[in-house]
Amino acid sequence: MTKAIAGFSKLSKEEKINWIVNTHFTNPETAKQVITQYWNSDEALQKLHDEFIENTISNFYMPLGVAPNFLINGKNVTIPMAIEESSVVAAASKAAKFWSNRGGFKTTVISTEKIGQVHFIYKGAADKLEAFFQTIKPKFFSETESITKNMQKRGGGIINISLRDKTGELENYYQLHATFNTKDSMGANFINSCLEQFAKTLKEQALQYEAFSEMEKQIQVVMSILSNYVPNCLVRAEVSCPVADLKEDKHISQEEFAEKFVRAVQIAEIEPYRAVTHNKGIMNGIDAVVIATGNDFRAVEAGVHAFASRNGKYSSLSHAKVENGIFTFWMEIPLALGTVGGLTGLHPLVKTALEMLEHPSAEELMQIVAVAGLAQNFAALRSLTTTGIQQGHMKMHLMNILNQFQATETERLQVTAHFEHNTVSHSAVVDYLASLRK
Ligand code: MEV
């Protein structure tokens, strides 16, 4: 068994790599070569990336693709997508083109409220705590003024703070539940700083509150942290057109396609096993844009899936209907995003992605991201309900296999031509490639 190492973080990058390759690899030289070949030759750029996290040894590449021709509220948008999964960008581009001829995507931001909580324990009478909270409430605002000043200038800040009694679920447990508007920033630092000040104010004021007994004065703050569940930071994306205009696939009529599509969505609405995969397809589009624009995809994922279960059962994020001959497909999802602060001003490719999107506000980015999700879902459901998903997937997979076997340009052309009319599978491609190489 490998021995643990003390003081690893203090080692230089070179020393860290040497320790890793000599400890974990049968061929240390090859491992070192792979790790270092991804270093950027621009030392300043490499240093920037090294310092995003601790113990950086290399860069982990992920393709940055683009899906052009998205018509969103009448405006053409080219969407940057950072994703490793074959076929996601191709599917988004196809859906974008399909809908650009049918009125495009319509989006609206429904709300932009973010949430943070101070979780605390208070052992005493609830009505006394409520009276105390009302007395000191203005102090939560005044004592965070130095933190909120700049945000207020930009039109944001603390919206409200309320006291929530959770003792029915956990003994002596209460919360300060605060809502915020963080304008174009995702706002994590701002919210957490406000919350930590609220916690300080809460504890200090309790000690001085005369109506409290000695025990009631000893409020225990357990933690202060934003919530990634943001059901009131909501955006809606929608497409619609007459069923008669849905014609795309020669094997299926527009009416049958619309009916099957709506059924597929209804299945995801009532069946959690399907809903998870259905929503995963939506997240293929969402995460790719969230990553490309330097936002936190884990936060988005956590919040979106919690929202998908808000009625007590995990369900589809998107919905579809046919009414009076009109097909409508839409989605409302919570997205807490930023276009200033964090990685957005640091990562050169993030800056490029945001410029490609023409410097969107956070609200505009919410709409673009929601569209990417809806487009992805449309593309997946269209394939699933017509040709099946594997046809498109295997075409992209073919490229990966060709790369894996370092196919030459001529071989690529021959293999692609052959599999125009033959079913792609890993072994079929490998066999065919081998036959060409004989
Ligand atoms: C694959 O990454 C995503 C899909 O499974 C989504 C879906 O089934 O709707 C194709």
Looking up residue 165, the CATH number of its domain turns out to be 3.30.70.420
pLDDT for 269: 98
Check pocket membership of 93 for ligand 1, CB cut-off 6 A. Answer: no
Does residue 3 form part of some domain?
Answer: no
Average pLDDT score, the chain: 96
The rounded Å distance from CA 379 to ligand 1 centre is: 9
The residue segments making up the domain with residue 411 are: 392-437
Mean pLDDT value of segment 209-229: 98
Q: Is residue 289 part of a domain?
A: yes
Nearest CA residue ID for atom 9, ligand 1: 278
Probe residue for ligand 1, chosen from 271, 283, 389, 396 as the CB with the greatest number of ligand atoms within 8 Å: 389
Q: How far is the CA of 217 from the centre of ligand 1 (A)?
A: 54
353 domain residue, yes or no: yes
pLDDT digits (tens, 9 = 90+) for 231-253: 999 999 999 999 999 987 778 89
Does 358 share its domain with 426? no
The response to whether residue 201 sits with its C-beta less than 6 Å from ligand 1 reads no
Q: Does 56 fall in a domain? A: no
How high is the pLDDT of residue 83? 98
Q: How far is the CA of 383 from the centre of ligand 1 (A)?
A: 10
The answer for residues whose C-beta is within 8 angstroms of residue 110's C-beta and 6 or more apart is 234, 235, 236, 332
Distance CA 438, CA 429 (A): 14
Least confident of 35-49, 278-292, 394-408: 394-408
- Region 201-208: mean pLDDT is 98
**Based on the domain organization, do 262 and 378 belong to the same domain?**
yes
pLDDT tens by residue, 343-378: 999 999 999 999 999 999 999 999 999 999 999 999
Q: CB of 280 closer than 6 A to ligand 1?
A: yes
Ligand 1 touching residue 351 (CB < 6 A): no
How far CA 16 is from CA of 35, 36, 43, 45, 358, in Å, comes to 12, 12, 18, 20, 40
Query: Is residue 87 in contact with ligand 1, taking CB distance under 6 Å?
Result: no
Assess whether pLDDT exceeds 80 at residue 6. yes
In a domain, 58, yes or no: no
Q: Whose CA is nearest to atom 6 of ligand 1?
A: 281
Where does a domain end: 372, 387, 402?
387
Please tell me the predicted confidence (pLDDT) of residue 54: 96
Q: What's the confidence (pLDDT) of residue 397?
A: 81
Q: At what angle do helices 126-142 and 145-153 cross, to 10 degrees?
A: 60
Question: What pLDDT score does 400 carry?
Answer: 87
Cα-to-centroid distance, 325 and ligand 1 (Å)? 27
State residue 366's pLDDT score: 98
The residue written with tokens 């997946």 in the block is 380
Q: Quick check: 299 pLDDT over 80?
A: yes
How far does the centroid of ligand 1 lie from the alpha carbon of residue 280, in Å? 6
| Separation of CA 312 and ligand 1 centre (Å) | 23
- The predicted model scores a pTM of 0.91
Q: Does 217 lie in the same domain as 126?
A: yes
Mutate to test the pocket of ligand 1, among 87, 280, 286 (most ligand atoms within 8 A of CB): 280
Examine the domain organization and report whether 99 and 240 are in the same domain.
yes
Active site residues: 85, 280, 296, 393
The answer to whether position 2 is within a domain reads no
Clarify whether residues 275 and 302 are in a common domain.
yes
Structural domain contains residue 237: yes
Write the CATH number for 315.
3.90.770.10
- Ligand 1 and 389: CB distance under 6 A: yes
What SS3 class is residue 110?
Answer: coil
| 280 shares its domain with 365 | yes
121 lines ligand 1 (CB under 6 A): no
Each residue's pLDDT tens digit, 92-134: 999 999 999 999 999 999 999 999 999 999 999 999 999 999 9
Share of the chain above pLDDT 70, in %: 100
Can you name the residues that pair with 115 across neighbouring β-strands? 179, 227
Confidence at 383, pLDDT banded by 50, 70, 90: very high
For tokens 């030392």, the residue is 43
Nearest residue (by CA) to ligand 1, atom 2, is 281
Residue 358 lies in a domain: yes
- Is the pLDDT assigned to residue 158 strictly greater than 90? yes
Name which residue sits closest to atom 1 of ligand 1, judged by CA: 281
Q: Domain count for the chain, please give it.
A: 4
Instruction: Tell me if 396 CB under 6 Å of ligand 1.
Output: no
User: 278 CB under 6 A from ligand 1?
Assistant: yes
Q: What's the average model confidence in pLDDT over 162-184? A: 98
Task: Write out pLDDT tens, residues 417-435.
Answer: 998 888 888 899 999 999 9
Tell me the CA–centroid distance for residue 381 and ligand 1, in Å: 8
Alpha-carbon distance values, 317 to 98, 329, 359, 381, 425 (Å): 21, 11, 28, 13, 32
What are the C-alpha distances in Å from 147 to residues 136, 142, 153, 222, 407? 18, 10, 12, 22, 58
Helix (H) or strand (E) holding 353: helix 348-356
285 shares its domain with 421:
no
pLDDT recorded at residue 410: 94
361 and 403 share one domain: no
Mean pLDDT of 163-184: 98
- Statement to judge: residues 290 and 331 lie in one domain: yes
Bigger pLDDT: 195 vs 420: 195
Residue 333 contacts residue 155 (beta carbons within 8 Å):
no
Q: Which ligand 1 atom minimizes the distance to the CA of 88?
A: 2
